[in-house]
């Protein structure tokens, strides 16, 4: 029999083990948008300043500013020039001796951001090239080794403290310079990975992050990037997230600390992914990211780092509209500037920031501290809102000034206490009239603002909005007959509808169930309370189509033919007129025959079998561009330079075999292609290998 002491020791060990397991389980189940073991309220408090700020400056600055986008006659490069131009490490290191930004003035930079209405600055402390813009204790590949010899981040830290600006750091997990980082670039044939130790690189990375988070005061955000390579994963991301928060508990960390974001959409696909906010890049999510804090980062022109030849700048009007749209969807706008090698902002950037600042001085209250629009859709405007006392203030960013000078807000049932244009220095209240389905504000004949005007509307209580009914129009074509579902947008309303193109009235047909249609039909539907319309009308057209017949074959074999090409393109080239580097047959749509990591393209052709007569949805999810053709007709157009982006198209097909052709190209910066399909009776899935066939070649 065991002694009492030994039993007690075993019990203590078991209790300790249980405690450890409970802690680990808590960490694993912690929601991905906040810290492990952090309450919802604590997370909200930590995020409060960032959520209120709404507008920040991104700064991409490093050695890549020296070549200014040009290498060997090609001026299309940016901050990725080390790899896009395939510059060897030794050659790239020569930029260190040329980096001498004698015109750099940290105070001038911070004041420019502040005058533009920005509340925080995110600067590249280290980009993918591995060069540190600070005094890095663990590396000599840093700004202190340049002729400039000054710690850029230290000076920015002091200037931000003086101006009340939040300083934030971008940091790249990927490092093309460090000998222990893996994988190597595919084109670096002379740089063997032998002896490299990735765990040693992680230790180096943590030492740099410790420098950043202990030597530069309080940092608002740590903005990670370069997490998409196979060596990084969410487990490493959770560890790095915890390490960063251990050094500065109140810091905010983006979701790129992990490895689960969905391409440039920036949303993490796993619920337990680390990070505090999503990071859409160069895009604004169509419906925002409900329930998730997010920030759209965007360039002013076509490059993040300075490119002397890139003058394709967005207009101030477009930038302000982007800001309004992002805020209306509950997001932040992080707008990029790429300083020159001399240390100054490009004049085109400065001009736009100055103009944005002038607009923000008048209209900033419609951005700062606001939340997303209570309307799912507005025509010609974006809307933000904030609580004011016991009521709500709605801000309508009016993009298209009404020709008759009357701004109409359908579906808003509240009584308003005040309506005023923010740009009206006299703050003269505007006349308001009420309609059955909303209200009208008499604005006047001409807008006051040169870009877009903001109407502030004060309401009693929280907004009461009745949206137009939701018509199930996901697939706007059909064969045979179809039942259409129409759903109310709010409780306590009836839906009345028409099939003749007229707007429903109190005498129109009342919805009692799905609407059966047999031919091409346009449905209009509207919400009513009694005989009173309380929403605008929604509309959808459904077109009856004829099935594309299938083709019968007797001698088919599995697979799909491919042709492989190499070249540098910004959009899909005419592969049909080009000579391939390789061609043959694959079991599925894949990149296995490619010879290089970037600058390649594929054309796939064969037959796909669909199981029944139906309307099918086809999808390509690709980085970069792709197109999909069925029976010679373009069904999916996903062309252009972008990260992993999914586009859908539809086709009405008879059951059986149909010709399929897919084209794809990759320029730089990651690649991928997935081809899927679905129908009413078939869930979305990658096209199975068994359904791809080619005709057997006869001798």
pLDDT in tens, 275-303: 999 999 999 998 888 889 999 999 999 99
210-232 pLDDT, tens per residue? 999 999 999 999 999 999 999 99
Beta bridge partners, 561, equal 585, 605
Angstrom distance (rounded) from CA 418 to CA 427: 10
373-390 pLDDT, tens per residue? 999 888 899 999 999 999
Q: Which two tokens stand for residue 494?
A: 């009836």
pLDDT of res. 491: 84
pLDDT of res. 401: 94
Q: Taking each helix axis from N to C terminus, what angle separates 316-328 and 347-363, rounded to the nearest 10 degrees? A: 50
Helix (H) or strand (E) holding 188: none
Say how many residues make up the chain: 699
What is this structure's pTM? 0.83
Interval 558-567 mean pLDDT: 97
Q: Which residue has the tokens 């002397």?
A: 308
Write the CB contacts of 86 (distance below 8 Å, at least 6 apart in sequence): 185, 187
Q: Taking each helix axis from N to C terminus, what angle separates 152-163 and 106-115, rounded to the nearest 10 degrees? A: 40
Interval 342-350 mean pLDDT: 98
pLDDT of res. 4: 27
* b/e code 78-117 from CB counts within 10 Å (16+ = b): bbbbbbbbebebeebbebbeebebeebebeebbebbbbbb
Interval 193-211 mean pLDDT: 97
349-374 pLDDT, tens per residue? 999 999 999 999 999 999 999 999 99
pLDDT of res. 35: 44
pLDDT of res. 145: 98
The helix, strand and coil proportions of the chain, stated in percent and rounded to the nearest 5, come to: 25, 30, 45
Confidence of residue 644 (pLDDT cuts 50, 70, 90): confident
Q: Lowest-pLDDT range, 55-59, 488-492, 587-591, 627-631? A: 488-492
Angstrom distance (rounded) from CA 449 to CA 472: 39
Angstrom distance (rounded) from CA 468 to CA 497: 11
Three-state SS sequence of 556-615: EEECEEEEEEECCCCCCCCHHHCCCCEEEEECCCCCCCCCCCCCEEEEEEEEEEECCCEE
Angstrom distance (rounded) from CA 635 to CA 660: 10
CA-wise closest residue to 659 among 620, 696, 630, 688: 630
pLDDT of res. 262: 76
pLDDT of res. 394: 98
The pLDDT of residue 570 is above 80: yes
Interval 449-462 mean pLDDT: 95
Handedness of CA 574, 576, 577, 582 (dihedral sign): positive
Interval 584-602 mean pLDDT: 94
* Distance set, CA 160 to CA 59, 63, 461 (Å): 14, 23, 38
Beta bridge partners, 471, equal 486
pLDDT of res. 203: 98
144-187 pLDDT, tens per residue? 999 999 999 999 999 999 999 999 999 999 999 999 999 999 89
- Cα angle, residue 288 at apex, residues 287 and 294 outer, rounded to 5°: 170
Q: How many CB atoms lie within 10 A of CB 291?
A: 7
- The dihedrals phi and psi of 4, each to the nearest 5 degrees, come to -60, -40
Beta bridge partners, 9, equal none
Burial of 545 (0-12, 13-18, 19+ CB in 10 A): middle
Confidence of residue 643 (pLDDT cuts 50, 70, 90): confident
Write the CB contacts of 423 (distance below 8 Å, at least 6 apart in sequence): 362, 363, 448, 449, 453, 454
Provide the edge-to-edge strand list for the sheet that holds 406-410: 406-410, 438-442, 432-435
Confidence of residue 636 (pLDDT cuts 50, 70, 90): very high
pLDDT of res. 697: 67
Confidence of residue 591 (pLDDT cuts 50, 70, 90): very high
pLDDT of res. 637: 98
Instruction: Give me the long-range contacts of 636-640 (CB less than 8 A, separation at least 24).
Output: 639/571, 639/572, 640/570, 640/571
The pLDDT of residue 12 is above 60: no
Beta bridge partners, 393, equal 386, 458
98-154 pLDDT, tens per residue? 999 999 999 999 999 999 999 999 999 999 999 999 999 999 999 999 999 999 999
15-71 pLDDT, tens per residue? 333 333 333 333 333 333 344 579 999 999 999 999 999 999 999 999 999 999 999
């Amino acid at each position: 029999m065991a002694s009492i002491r030994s039993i007690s020791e075993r019990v203590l060990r078991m209790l300790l083990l249980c405690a450890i397991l409970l802690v680990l389980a808590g960490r694993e189940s912690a929601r991905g948008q906040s810290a492990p073991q952090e309450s919802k309220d604590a997370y909200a408090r930590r995020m409060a300043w960032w959520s209120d700020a709404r507008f920040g400056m991104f700064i991409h600055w490093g050695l890549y500013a020296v070549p200014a986008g040009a290498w060997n006659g090609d001026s299309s490069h940016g901050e990725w020039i080390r790899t896009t131009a395939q510059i060897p490490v030794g050659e790239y290191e020569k930029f260190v001796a040329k980096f001498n930004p004698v015109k750099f003035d940290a105070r001038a930079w911070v004041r420019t951001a502040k005058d533009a209405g920005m509340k925080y600055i995110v600067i590249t402390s280290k980009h993918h090239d591995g060069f540190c813009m600070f005094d890095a204790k663990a590396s000599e590949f840093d700004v202190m080794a340049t002729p400039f010899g000054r710690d850029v981040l230290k000076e920015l830290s002091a200037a931000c403290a003086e101006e009340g600006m939040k300083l934030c750091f971008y940091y790249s997990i990927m490092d093309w310079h460090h000998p222990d980082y893996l994988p190597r670039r595919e084109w670096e044939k002379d740089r063997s990975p032998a002896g490299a130790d990735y765990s040693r690189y992680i230790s180096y990375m943590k030492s740099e992050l410790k420098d950043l988070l202990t030597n530069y005061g309080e940092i608002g955000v740590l903005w990670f990037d370069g997490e998409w390579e196979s060596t990084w994963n969410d487990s490493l991301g959770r560890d790095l997230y915890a390490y960063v928060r251990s050094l500065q508990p109140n810091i905010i960390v983006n979701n790129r600390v992990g490895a689960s974001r969905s391409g440039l959409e920036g949303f993490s696909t796993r619920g337990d992914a680390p990070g505090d906010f999503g990071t859409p890049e160069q895009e604004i999510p169509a419906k925002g990211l409900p329930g998730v804090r997010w920030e759209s980062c965007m360039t002013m022109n076509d490059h993040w780092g300075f490119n002397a030849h890139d003058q394709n700048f967005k207009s101030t009007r477009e930038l302000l509209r982007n800001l309004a749209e992002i805020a209306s969807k509950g997001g932040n706008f992080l707008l990029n500037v790429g300083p020159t090698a001399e240390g100054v902002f490009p004049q085109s950037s400065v001009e736009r920031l100055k103009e944005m600042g002038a607009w923000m001085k008048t209209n900033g209250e419609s951005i700062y501290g606001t939340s997303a629009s209570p309307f799912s859709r507005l025509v010609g405007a974006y809307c933000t809102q904030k609580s004011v006392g016991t009521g709500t203030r709605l801000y309508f960013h009016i993009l298209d000034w009404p020709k008759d000078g009357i701004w109409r807000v359908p579906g808003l049932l509240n009584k308003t206490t005040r309506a005023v244009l923010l740009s009206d220095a006299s703050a003269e209240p505007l006349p308001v009239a009420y309609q059955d389905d909303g209200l009208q504000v008499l604005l006047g004949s001409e807008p006051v603002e040169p870009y877009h005007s903001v109407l502030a509307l004060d309401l009693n209580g929280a907004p009461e909005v009745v949206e137009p009914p939701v018509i199930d129009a996901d697939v706007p074509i059909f064969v045979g007959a179809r039942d259409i579902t129409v759903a109310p947008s709010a409780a306590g309303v009836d839906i009345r509808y028409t099939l003749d193109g007229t707007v429903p009235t109190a005498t129109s047909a009342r919805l009692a169930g799905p609407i059966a249609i047999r031919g091409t039909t346009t449905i209009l539907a509207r919400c009513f309370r009694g005989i009173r319309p309380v929403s605008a009308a929604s509309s959808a057209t459904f077109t009856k189509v004829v099935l594309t017949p299938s083709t019968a074959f007797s001698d088919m074999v599995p697979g799909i033919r491919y042709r492989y090409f190499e070249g540098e393109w910004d959009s899909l080239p005419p592969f049909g007129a080009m000579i391939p580097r390789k061609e043959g047959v694959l079991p599925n749509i894949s990149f296995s025959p490619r010879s290089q990591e970037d600058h390649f393209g594929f054309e796939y052709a064969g037959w796909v079998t669909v199981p029944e007569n139906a309307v099918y949805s086809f999808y390509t999810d690709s980085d970069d561009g792709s197109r999909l053709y069925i029976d010679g007709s373009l069904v999916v157009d996903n062309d252009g330079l972008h990260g992993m982006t999914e586009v859908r198209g539809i086709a009405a097909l008879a059951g059986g075999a149909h010709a399929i052709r897919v084209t794809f190209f990759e320029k730089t910066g990651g690649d991928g292609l997935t081809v899927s399909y679905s129908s009413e009776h078939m869930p979305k899935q990658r096209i199975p290998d068994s359904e791809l066939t080619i005709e057997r070649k006869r001798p």
